[in-house]
Amino acid sequence: MAGSLIPQGRRARSFHRPIMSDINVVPFIDIMLVLLVVFMVTAPMMTQGVQVSLPEVESTPITEEHEPMQVSIKKNGTLFVHEKEIALDKLADTLLAIRQQKPGTAILLRADKAVNYGRVMEVMSALQVAGLVDVGLVTEPARRR
């Protein structure tokens, strides 16, 4: 009986087995875990800004709709607008130009706690002369003891 119509051997078993409709999620989980590790490693490197040691005081956090303009004063007295170093005489013009492009943007002053008070007042005076009087001072939250 060489011409039998009944399947035999391996084909017979697969013919009667129901179709499997489950989705294999193991590769998806593997990819998600790899992405999680990549983001955990790269997230600390994505912090931007000028490193200053801010004073610690009790205050309420600032919430802004738009990204504020950050003016930073490092320990040695150098000025930065965002991460770009700038001279004191160019500060007001630079901030006015940015504010014309993005009206209503807040200005935040971040000064290292070791900066001379006179240097901070020079920057505040330059901002006031330019008409930029709405300036916030950034601090670190006080630690509970």
- Domains of the chain by residue range: 10-45, 56-141
Q: What is the pLDDT of residue 29?
A: 93
User: Span 56-141: which CATH code?
Assistant: 3.30.420.270
Neighbours of 123 (CB within 10 A): 21
- pLDDT tens-place values along the chain, 145 residues long: 555 555 555 555 555 667 777 888 899 999 999 999 998 888 776 655 556 666 666 666 656 566 778 888 888 888 888 888 888 888 888 878 877 887 777 788 888 888 888 888 888 888 887 777 778 887 777 776 6
Exposed/middle/buried for residue 106 (C-beta within 10 Å: 0-12, 13-18, 19+): middle
Which segments of the chain does DSSP mark as H helices, in order?
10-16, 26-42, 88-101, 117-129
Q: What is the pLDDT of residue 33?
A: 94
Reading phi first (left if > 0) and then psi (alpha if -120 to 50, else beta), residue 21 is in alpha
